[in-house]
A and B are shown apart, each in its own frame.
Chain A
Amino acid sequence: MKSMTKVLSMMCAGLLMASVFAGCGGEKKAGDTIKVGADIDLTGGSASYGKSAQNGIKLAFDQVNAKGGVLGKKMELVVADNKSEAAEATNAMQKLVAQDKVVAVIGPNLSSAVIASTAVNTGAKVLVISPMGTNPNVTVDKDGKTKDFMFRACFIDPFQGTVMAAFAKDTLKAKKVAILIDNSSDYSKGLAQFFETAFVKGGGTIVAKESYLQKDTDFKATLTKIKATNPDMIYVPGYYQEVGMIVKQAREMGLTVPMAGGDGWDSAKLPEIAGKSALNKTFFSSLYSAEDKSELNKNFVAAYKKAYNETPDVFAALAYDSAMLIVNSIKTANSADSVKIKDALAKTAGFNGVAGSVTFDPQHNPVKSAFIIEYKDGAQAFNTKINP
């Protein structure tokens, strides 16, 4: 028994020594490759996001390398798993910047993880693009100052309200709109506020503003009030659970006007809850649609399907765009120095990505295209792309 313990403790000690040496000796010199890190969620609660993002980035670098790379060097991807957790994201970020000496990092997807790891990459002067970090604080600090090394590839949530206002006015020709807000969610309130501002500015009127709470199931009283104001369109920036019942009950009451919302509508459950026919003439705004007919996107979808045998989702598309933005900035800066890449990236204007064109504003938020998706007999169909 005793000798067994001894052997095992020796083994432990050996393993530890080995691990320390592996850690310290692991610093490889940057040779003929440019290293870019991915701090993404490969395990844990949001693992599916991370997997898609990894596929997107890999595809981007493979395509670039097939064409001979950048500045005569190949792009190399170093992946670190952050287990969908803020503290682990910091750990992964530390590994990427300190050990692998990457010039830029893509990820994390979750806002909280990005915000937690910011101090690490800022201290090391390495830029980060978060493909899906929608929280405003990802790129600006508490005092409203832009964080130098932080960028995002998606637009922040409220922007969807502005996009939908333009769509309502120009495409649906709506003049009078009723808004139905989910009062328990900041997301919903933000969208509604931006929609109202933009729509009124464009000459429209808001005829009714009603609200509900999450988990409500009966909306008939509210909808009756709305029906009395005779709107051309109803804007419901909520989540699919309640939205499904709202659409269903509105149609039952004979409200046949178009209804619209944000990407909270993007769910396979929505047609089940609302019923396929009730969903006709409904629209929502989204960051990406695989059905976009642009040449760039068609090639991307085809290549992605060939490589992974599935249709790219929004995470894959935005991670692909993030990777391409970095490649583009390395070309513009004509250097693989992280600070120079960052400066070039901040000046990016009119970059063409698969999820639309990107121009960074002073807060490092992209001013970019949004997609309007329409439900047709329960299936999502691409309607229009709205450019900024």
Chain B
Amino acid sequence: MNSIKKHDLATLGACAVLFAIVQTLLFVDFIGPFWELNIILILINVILSVSLNLINGYTGQFSIGHAGFLAVGAYTGAIITVKLGLPFELALVVGTLCSALLGFLIGLPTLRLNGDYLAIATLGLGEIIRICILNIEYVGGASGLMGIPRFTTFAWAFWITVFIIFVIKNFKNSAPGRCCLAIRENEIAAETMGIDTTKYKVMAFTIGAGFAGTAGVLFAHYFYIAHPASFTFMRSFDILTMVVLGGLGSMTGAITGAVLLTAISAVLAEYPEWRMVIYSLTLIILMINRPQGLFGSKELSLKMFRLGGSDNGRATESK
């Protein structure tokens, strides 16, 4: 127990160092506005992929409606700051809660489905949310909600991302998290052991949806606009791709997937004609060579880089 806490503190320290480095580089203008934008986009995508990983990777439920929750968060957050003139902090909280509430309400009936059926239900859900927004004049309808102030800074995005990763990591290691893992491994066996499968599935789904909402608030307050076209099912697939590429069920995998795909897309902005081709080729090659994703369901940690594979070296890690 003590060593775990120590490990967490060390990680937090490493995060603070990373934050200080990037913040300094931003401050002295070594990282220009274009890369600043993409770093924030990476952080938002990390939140999305980690939260989807909780549903798809840990609990084993195939959800592809994540863009819908992103949209709910983006629009609720924008309504709070633009229409009601309330502070950004409140927008983050309300955006998260609204998304989570919707996730809960939707999760109750749909999570009784599984496999392909759940995928189709969540896909439909994402589209329903988008079409609803498209037809609500209050939030701008098809032309989108404009004039959103830019409140999202690197500091906000970074620490929220760290916080969410921390929460999901701890959730996975908690009793409900273990129940989720059990459901993923074998739902019938889990039920036989007395686990209320629906309860834990809905719990994971609600948390995942809520954090997608947080990402939405950050997204809308960085890009000045919440527009229905940003939340199509292609967006859901993008997030799913990040998770699957990194390795379903691996937190570090989801993070790496998000960082890698967003960075590739940004680097290739120079070659608009080839962008999608190279992007797709990367995916195909990676999937052929690593069908289980970059990390499979393993976690990347410093001990992986040790030669000889010392298996119980965690406590001695000092860095």
The chain A residues found within 8 Å of chain B, CB to CB, are 2, 4-6, 8-9, 12, 15-16, 19-20, 22-24, 26-27, 42-43, 45, 79-81, 84-87, 90-92, 94-95, 97-99, 111-112, 115-116, 118-120, 124, 135, 137, 142
Contact = CB atoms under 8 A, between A and B. Distances in A.
Interface residues of B, number: 43
Given A85-B229, A85-B230, A22 B267 contact: yes
Given A5-B298, A42-B273, A81-B272, A15 B260 contact: yes
Given A80-B269, A85-B230, A98 B225 contact: no
B309 interface: yes
Interface of B is mostly: helix
B7 interface: no
Contacts of A124: 33
Nearest to A96: B34
A182 to B, nearest CB: 16
Contacts of A84: 229
B294 A8 contact: yes
Closest 3 A/B residue pairs (Cβ): A81-B272, A116-B225, A98-B33
B219 interface: yes
B159 interface: no
B304 to A, nearest CB: 6
B143 interface: yes
8 contacts: A5-B295, A12-B294, A16-B259, A85-B230, A86-B223, A86-B227, A116-B144, A116-B225
Contacts of B263: 15-16, 19-20
Contacts of A118: 224
Contacts, number: 119
Q: Which of B223, B300, B304, B309 has the most CB of A within 10 A?
A: B223
A124 B296 CA distance: 44
Contact of A91 (B38, B259, B276): B38
A90 B260 contact: no
Nearest to A117: B224
Contact of B269 (A6, A9, A92): A92
Given A2-B304, A5-B304, A16-B260, A95 B34 contact: yes
Given A12-B294, A115-B146, A116-B223, 4 more contacts: A6-B305, A19-B263, A86-B223, A119-B150
B267 A23 contact: yes
Contacts of B269: 80-81, 91-92, 95
Interface of B: 30-35, 37-38, 41, 143-144, 146-147, 150, 219, 223-225, 227, 229-230, 256, 259-260, 263-264, 266-267, 269-270, 272-273, 275-276, 290, 294-296, 298, 300, 304-305, 309
B225 A115 contact: yes
Main secondary structure of the interface of A (DSSP, over half): helix
A20 B223 contact: no
A104 B35 CA distance: 20
Nearest to B259: A16
Contact of B230 (A16, A19, A42, A87): A87
A92 B270 CA distance: 10
Contact of A112 (B31, B38, B144, B219): B144
B74 to A, nearest CB: 10
Given A23-B34, A27-B32, A94-B37, A12 B276 contact: no
A334 to B, nearest CB: 29
A19 B282 CA distance: 15
Nearest to B147: A142
Nearest to A8: B294
A12 B259 CA distance: 10
A85 B227 contact: yes
Contacts of A111: 143
A1 to B, nearest CB: 8
Given A12-B260, A84-B229, A116-B227, A2 B33 contact: no
B32 A24 contact: yes
B272 A79 contact: yes
B41 A8 contact: no
A360 to B, nearest CB: 23
Given A6-B304, A87-B219, A19 B264 contact: yes
A4 B143 CA distance: 48
